[in-house]
């Protein structure tokens, strides 16, 4: 099943990014793409819709093609049971100790992988595989050769040993692995690169919006614009600690009149979301200043509006791959309070581009600081936007992926193209 | 003796009787001629003075072409006056008027043809691309003037000219509408050449921000060679209708052009990490140069807009994660600009940490998960389309290249590629012989600037030199 059959691709054109990132950056991308001409990149993940990976690929694939790099997007097939298993893998790799993965789970994973190996068409010169779900496709390398890159979007800083060892047998056969942060790197016999994920400044989720539209979204969800607004946008997942956010908000609310918006959706590969959402709703019951909003996946403009309406954006994750919502908020010039986990410290340089926290109390203190010092908050927001422009826009990620593909055939530290 | 009343010399008699009728026209004719001589002298002198003041080269064509005909026109005027003062019959006078008017028209037409021909050839020769069309333009002018002259003569003799005029007007209108843009561009091209606002060889910048050297101005477009080597073709009328910055003639050409390169880098994870100061010191002594380079330089690219910029990863880590703030400050204040190579810089970092360890052997340990992770910088060097042949092109390109390019030529060239000095200074000294400017740029400590500030400081130094 190809991407084109399932989902309309992003319509952003490469030249549209020039006013944002500069002419030089676009020229660099073109030169790198030129060096890759003739190669076909086959990128494979588990879903076309929902979650950060699909979101990035949706914008990345058309841009790579516009650059002249022939890139095709495929997804593996897997039923509800398979995704429940891979969700367990995901949690275990994130270091959730409560997860138990049984031998049957591993067997189901292998069975679905074998099925995909048999059914999928492999035609690329470079195979770009995302996350654990399709990782076992590497078995095809023995048969067809070519270059294989495994892109890990998960926080692997403290993975469950059993699951990682199972996965490692596949990863070790790749030519290179890509991680989002330095502490996600593993002991592997292959080259490991660091590529941070990115946001698309022209996507519905990040583009500029009219104030009237922002206002209409607030009205739609019954949120007032009269009070300062603390916002966390993320899918309903325990690792995002929505309960912790409510607790921090309640501490802040004692002395500052403000409201909390917890907004997010669910992904097709995350069966746990519904239960978490229910828990959160229960916890917020009876507090009129807390708004729990279930946003469907295609409501990017609404998410954008909520972020733009925010006074402070929070991301109090317990574990995080990268945390794209941080870059989204920073790009909108918002002051951000976020946990120092996963890839978040890569986006927030404490007290320069945002505030980092470790606890509920720390989060509450930082939120209060920003709500009561709007000038400081604005300064952080301005720095944050600039930092994202330089490092976390889709153009930077595109460049990094092109560089990884180019590095597959070269081992020097300084490469002249 | 017989007397005859009839004179032997009737003509003389007639002259005696009507001498006034003959003398007056003759005198008027001669007087008009003399007035003509005097008027020509005064008028041409005044015209020459005016032309000299205007510095208009075309004046001599008017002067040379009209000098003799100017007198002819007075002779015709004299004849006209004489005829009308004479005792000729009205019909004879009318005939004389027509002859004189025809002569005048023929003379004016001839002068117009000669003048337009010389002016056209003069201006066309200033525009090389028009050379091939010179004859076409001259012949077009000749035909037009002859047609107009003939029409006027026909009109004088009472021939029907209206249908011919209407036909000609229609033809001219159709041609003018069809070639409206061409005509506008042609006229604008002539204006550009005549006014010398923009000349071939000038460096100009358009409203769009594009710029380059003017390589050609033809009858339709002006061609500009951009810094990227592209040919920008601007219609003359559009060029004349916008604000253009003209920097003037090219500067001293370099013996070799400067090609701007850019550098993009990829972070390769080494899998090595340090949890304590001792481990950090050991690793620093063992890791490849590219790792030391990354941890002492990536901040300048990634946080280049922050002032003050965080110094290096080692300093930050020992301060933030190990709580060794004194050591952190010492590491942060290492003057990277004073080291000629990465290994020299590495040795200094090692020495500072080892000194500290000697006095504080217990050290500290980072919390689990907050270890120092060693990352290697893999650089990809790419040629950009920007090539500078002189300081003007250099400074204009410098304003446009990416920060990666600036980083490569200033930081990477000096330390990582072991050139000892930045690429700009090397080129300015070796290929332009301007040691003073080269030294001024070389003496800038790039570690004290944000990248944009560094760029604008170098731009200012160069612009000051070429002013």
Cβ neighbours of A222 (radius 10 Å): 9
A413 located within any domain: no
pLDDT tens across B191-220, in order? Answer: 777 677 788 888 888 888 888 888 888 778
Name the residue range of residue A399's domain. Answer: 3-198+394-407
* Residues A231 and A376 reside in one and the same domain: yes
B440-444 average pLDDT score: 95
Q: Determine the 3-state secondary structure of B268 from DSSP.
A: strand
Residues A349, B303: C-beta atoms closer than 8 Å:
yes
Q: Which of A39-48, A269-278, A380-389, B204-213 has the lowest mean pLDDT?
A: A269-278
Q: What is the signed CA dihedral for B253, B254, B259, B263, rounded to 10 degrees? A: -130
* Residues A297 and A156 reside in one and the same domain: no
* Residues A362 and A398 reside in one and the same domain: no
pLDDT of residue B185: 77
B400-414 average pLDDT score: 89
Chain A residues with beta carbon closer than 8 angstroms to that of B301: 390
Find the residue in A nearest to B416 (Cα): A414
Find the residue in A nearest to B378 (Cα): A413
Give the span between the Cα atoms of A313 and B423, in whole angstroms: 44
Contact B296, B382 (CB under 8 A): no
Cβ neighbours of B252 (radius 10 Å): 13
* Residues A162 and A294 reside in one and the same domain: no
Find the residue in B nearest to A396 (Cα): B264
pLDDT of residue A1: 46
A268 located within any domain: yes
Cis peptide before B308 (omega within 30 of 0): yes
Write down the H helix ranges in B380-434. 391-400, 403-407, 423-432
Give the span between the Cα atoms of B103 and A89, in whole angstroms: 108
* Residues A153 and A246 reside in one and the same domain: no
Contact A318, A347 (CB under 8 A): no
Q: Which residues pair with B225 in a beta bridge?
A: B213, B231
Give the span between the Cα atoms of B123 and B117, in whole angstroms: 10
pLDDT of residue B435: 95
Residues B271, A179: C-beta atoms closer than 8 Å:
no
In this model, does residue B1 exceed pLDDT 80?
no
Q: Which two structure tokens, joined as six digits, stand for B453?
A: 């500030």
Residues B269, A32: C-beta atoms closer than 8 Å:
no
Greatest Cα-to-Cα distance within chain B, rounded to the nearest angstrom: 170
Give the span between the Cα atoms of A381 and A394, in whole angstroms: 20
Residues A417, B269: C-beta atoms closer than 8 Å:
no
Chain A residues with beta carbon closer than 8 angstroms to that of B375: 182, 194
pLDDT tens across A92-129, in order? Answer: 998 766 678 999 999 999 999 999 999 999 999 999 99
Count of all residues that appear for chain B in the document: 467
A238-266 average pLDDT score: 93
Q: Which two structure tokens, joined as six digits, stand for A5?
A: 């059959």
Q: How many CA atoms lie within 13 A of B83 on its CB side?
A: 19
Give the start-end residues of each E strand in A24-94: 40-45, 70-75
**Nearest residue to B411 via CA among B451, B376, B453:** B451
Q: Which two structure tokens, joined as six digits, stand for B75?
A: 């002779």
Residues A183, B305: C-beta atoms closer than 8 Å:
no
Distances (CA, A) of B379 to A27, B61, B293, B303: 17, 66, 11, 18
Find the residue in A nearest to B386 (Cα): A24
Give the span between the Cα atoms of B307 and B301, in whole angstroms: 13
| Phi, psi dihedrals of residue A57, rounded to the nearest 5° | -65, -35
What pLDDT band is residue A7 in, cutting at 50, 70 and 90?
very low
* Residues A231 and A135 reside in one and the same domain: no
**Nearest residue to A9 via CA among A46, A56, A41, A45:** A56
Phi-psi region of A334 (alpha: psi -120 to 50; beta: other; left: phi over 0): beta
Residue A179 distance to chain B (closest CA, Å): 9
Residues B305, A407: C-beta atoms closer than 8 Å:
no
**Nearest residue to B66 via CA among B95, B36, B87, B97:** B36
A415 located within any domain: no
Interface test with B, best of A320, A415, A416, A417 (most B CBs within 10 A): A415
Question: What's the fold here for domain B185-248?
Answer: SH3 type barrels. (2.30.30)
pLDDT of residue B24: 85
A364 located within any domain: yes
pLDDT of residue B250: 76
Average pLDDT, chain B: 86
- Nearest CB among A157, A386, A413 relative to B369 is that of A157
Give the span between the Cα atoms of A152 and A410, in whole angstroms: 22
Q: How many CA atoms lie within 13 A of B465 on its CB side?
A: 23
Give the span between the Cα atoms of B218 and B210, in whole angstroms: 20
A235 located within any domain: yes
Q: What are the structural domain ranges in chain B?
A: 10-180, 185-248, 258-466
Give the span between the Cα atoms of B288 and B269, in whole angstroms: 12
* Residues A176 and A222 reside in one and the same domain: no
B433-449 average pLDDT score: 93
B132-155 average pLDDT score: 81
B23-27 average pLDDT score: 87
Q: Which of A34-38, B246-250, B392-396, B458-462 has the lowest mean pLDDT?
A: B246-250
- Non-local CB neighbours of B53 within 8 Å, separated by 6+ positions: none
Residues B382, A349: C-beta atoms closer than 8 Å:
no
Residues A25, B382: C-beta atoms closer than 8 Å:
no
Q: Which helix (H) or strand (E) holds B82?
A: helix B59-85
Find the residue in A nearest to B309 (Cα): A352
Residues B405, A31: C-beta atoms closer than 8 Å:
no
In this model, does residue B132 exceed pLDDT 60?
no
Contact A3, A74 (CB under 8 A): yes
A370 located within any domain: yes
A140 located within any domain: yes
Residues A383, B416: C-beta atoms closer than 8 Å:
no
Residue B391 distance to chain A (closest CA, Å): 20
Give the span between the Cα atoms of B273 and B313, in whole angstroms: 13
Q: How far is CA A233 from the centre of its chain?
A: 12
Taken in order A21, A23, A24, A30, the sign of the CA dihedral is: positive
In this model, does residue B112 exceed pLDDT 70?
yes
Find the residue in B nearest to A349 (Cα): B303
* Residues A77 and A182 reside in one and the same domain: yes
Average pLDDT, chain A: 90
% chain B with pLDDT above 70: 93
Contact A151, A129 (CB under 8 A): yes
* Residues A265 and A376 reside in one and the same domain: yes
Contact A69, A61 (CB under 8 A): no
B310-331 average pLDDT score: 88
- Non-local CB neighbours of B45 within 8 Å, separated by 6+ positions: none
- Nearest CB among B269, B371, B380 relative to A406 is that of B380
Chain A residues with beta carbon closer than 8 angstroms to that of B382: 28, 31-32, 417
* Residues A95 and A128 reside in one and the same domain: yes
The percent of chain B in helix, strand and coil, each rounded to the nearest 5, is 65, 15, 25
A4-19 average pLDDT score: 70
Give the span between the Cα atoms of B277 and B317, in whole angstroms: 10
Phi-psi region of A184 (alpha: psi -120 to 50; beta: other; left: phi over 0): alpha
Q: Which of A55-59, A333-337, B128-132, B156-160 has the lowest mean pLDDT?
A: B128-132
Residues of B near A (CB-CB distance < 8 A)?
A: 262, 264-271, 273, 288-290, 301-306, 310, 369, 371, 373, 375-385, 400-405, 416-417
The rounded radius of gyration (Å) of the Cα atoms in chain B is 43
The CATH number that applies at residue A81 is 3.40.50.2000
For Cα atoms A137, A143, A145, give the angle at the middle one, nearest 5 degrees. 85
Phi-psi region of B209 (alpha: psi -120 to 50; beta: other; left: phi over 0): left
In this model, does residue B276 exceed pLDDT 90?
yes
What pLDDT band is residue B336 in, cutting at 50, 70 and 90?
confident
What is the secondary structure of A188-240 as a DSSP string? -SSEEEE----B-TTSTTTS---HHHHHHHHHHTT--SSS-EEEEE--S-GGG
pLDDT of residue A4: 47
A179-189 average pLDDT score: 89
* Residues A71 and A190 reside in one and the same domain: yes
In this model, does residue A390 exceed pLDDT 80?
yes
* Residues A179 and A30 reside in one and the same domain: yes
A57-79 average pLDDT score: 92
Contact A159, A368 (CB under 8 A): no
């Amino acid at each position: 099943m190809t991407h084109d059959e399932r989902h309309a691709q992003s319509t952003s054109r490469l030249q549209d990014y020039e006013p944002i990132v500069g002419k030089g950056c676009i020229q660099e991308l073109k030169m790198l793409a030129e060096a890759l001409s003739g190669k076909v990149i086959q990128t494979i993940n588990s879903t076309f819709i929902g979650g950060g990976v699909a979101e990035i690929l949706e914008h990345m694939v058309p841009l790579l093609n516009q650059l002249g790099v022939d890139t095709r997007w495929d997804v593996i097939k897997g039923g509800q049971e398979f995704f429940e298993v891979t969700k367990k893998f995901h949690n275990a790799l994130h270091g959730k100790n409560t997860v138990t993965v049984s031998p049957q789970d591993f067997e189901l994973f292998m069975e679905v992988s074998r099925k995909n190996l048999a059914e999928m068409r492999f035609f690329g010169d470079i195979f770009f595989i995302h996350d654990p779900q399709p990782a076992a496709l590497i078995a095809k390398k023995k048969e067809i050769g070519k270059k294989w890159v495994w892109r890990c979007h998960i926080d692997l800083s403290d993975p469950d040993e059993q699951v990682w060892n199972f996965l490692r047998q596949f990863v070790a056969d790749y030519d290179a692995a890509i991680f989002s942060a330095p502490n996600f790197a593993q002991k592997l016999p292959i080259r490991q690169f660091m590529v941070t994920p990115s946001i698309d400044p022209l996507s519905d989720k990040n583009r500029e919006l009219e104030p009237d539209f922002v206002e209409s979204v607030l009205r739609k969800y019954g949120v007032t614009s009269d009070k300062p607004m603390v916002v966390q946008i993320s899918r309903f997942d325990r690792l995002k600690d929505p309960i912790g956010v409510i607790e921090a908000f309640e501490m802040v609310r004692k002395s500052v009149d403000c409201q909390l918006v917890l907004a997010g959706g669910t992904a097709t590969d995350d069966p746990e979301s519904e239960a978490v959402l229910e828990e959160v709703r229960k916890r917020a019951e009876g507090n009129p200043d807390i708004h729990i909003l279930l946003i469907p996946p295609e409501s990017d403009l609404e998410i954008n509006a909520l972020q733009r309406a925010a006074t402070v954006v929070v991301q109090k994750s317990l574990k995080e791959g990268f945390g794209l919502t941080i870059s989204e908020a920073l790009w909108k010039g918002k002051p951000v309070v976020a946990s120092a986990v996963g890839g978040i410290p890569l986006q927030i340089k404490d007290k320069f581009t945002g505030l980092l926290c470790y606890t509920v109390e720390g989060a509450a203190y930082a939120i209060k600081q920003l709500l009561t010092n709007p000038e400081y908050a604005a300064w952080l927001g301005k720095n944050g936007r600039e930092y994202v422009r330089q490092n976390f826009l889709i153009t930077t990620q595109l460049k990094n992926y092109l560089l990884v593909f180019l590095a597959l055939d070269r081992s020097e530290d300084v490469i002249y193209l | 003796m017989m007397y005859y009343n009839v004179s032997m010399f009737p003509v003389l008699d007639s002259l005696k009787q009507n001498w006034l009728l003959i003398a007056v026209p003759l005198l008027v004719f001669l007087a008009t001629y003399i007035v003509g001589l005097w008027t020509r002298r005064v008028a041409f002198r005044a015209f020459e003075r005016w032309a000299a003041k205007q510095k208009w080269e075309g004046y001599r064509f008017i002067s040379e072409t009209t000098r003799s005909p100017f007198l002819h026109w007075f002779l015709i005027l004299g004849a006209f006056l004489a005829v009308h003062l004479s005792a000729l019959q009205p019909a004879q006078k009318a005939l004389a008027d027509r002859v004189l008017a025809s002569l005048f028209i023929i003379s004016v037409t001839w002068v117009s043809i000669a003048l337009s021909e010389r002016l056209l050839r003069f201006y066309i020769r200033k525009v090389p691309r028009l050379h091939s069309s010179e004859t076409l333009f001259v012949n077009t002018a000749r035909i037009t003037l002859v047609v107009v002259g003939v029409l006027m003569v026909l009109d004088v003799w009472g021939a029907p000219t209206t249908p011919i005029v209407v036909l000609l007007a229609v033809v001219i209108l159709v041609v003018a509408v069809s070639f409206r843009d061409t005509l506008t561009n042609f006229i604008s091209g002539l204006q550009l050449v005549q006014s010398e606002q923009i000349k071939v060889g000038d460096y100009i910048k358009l409203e769009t921000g594009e710029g380059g050297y003017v390589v050609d101005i033809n009858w339709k477009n002006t061609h500009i060679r951009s810094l990227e080597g592209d040919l920008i073709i601007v219609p003359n009328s559009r060029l004349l209708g916008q604000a253009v910055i003209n920097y003037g003639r090219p500067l001293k050409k370099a013996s070799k052009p400067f090609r701007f390169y850019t550098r993009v880098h990829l972070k390769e994870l080494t899998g090595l990490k340090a949890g304590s100061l001792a481990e950090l010191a050991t690793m620093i002594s063992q890791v490849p140069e590219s790792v030391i380079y990354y941890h002492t330089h990536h901040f300048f690219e990634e946080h280049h807009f922050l002032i003050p910029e965080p110094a290096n990863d080692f300093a930050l880590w020992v301060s933030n994660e190990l709580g060794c703030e004194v050591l952190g400050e010492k590491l942060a204040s290492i003057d990277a600009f004073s080291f000629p190579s990465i290994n020299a810089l590495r040795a200094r970092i090692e020495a500072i940490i080892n000194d500290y360890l000697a006095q504080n052997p217990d050290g500290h340990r980072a919390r689990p998960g907050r270890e120092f992770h060693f990352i290697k910088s893999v650089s990809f060097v790419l040629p950009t389309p920007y090539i500078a042949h002189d300081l003007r092109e250099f400074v204009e390109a410098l304003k446009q290249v990416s920060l990666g390019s600036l980083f490569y030529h200033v930081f990477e060239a000096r330390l990582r590629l072991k050139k000892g000095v930045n690429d700009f200074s090397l080129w300015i000294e070796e290929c332009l012989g301007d040691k003073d400017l080269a030294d001024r740029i070389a003496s800038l400590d790039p570690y004290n600037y944000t990248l944009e500030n560094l760029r604008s400081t170098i731009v200012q130094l160069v612009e000051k030199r070429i002013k």
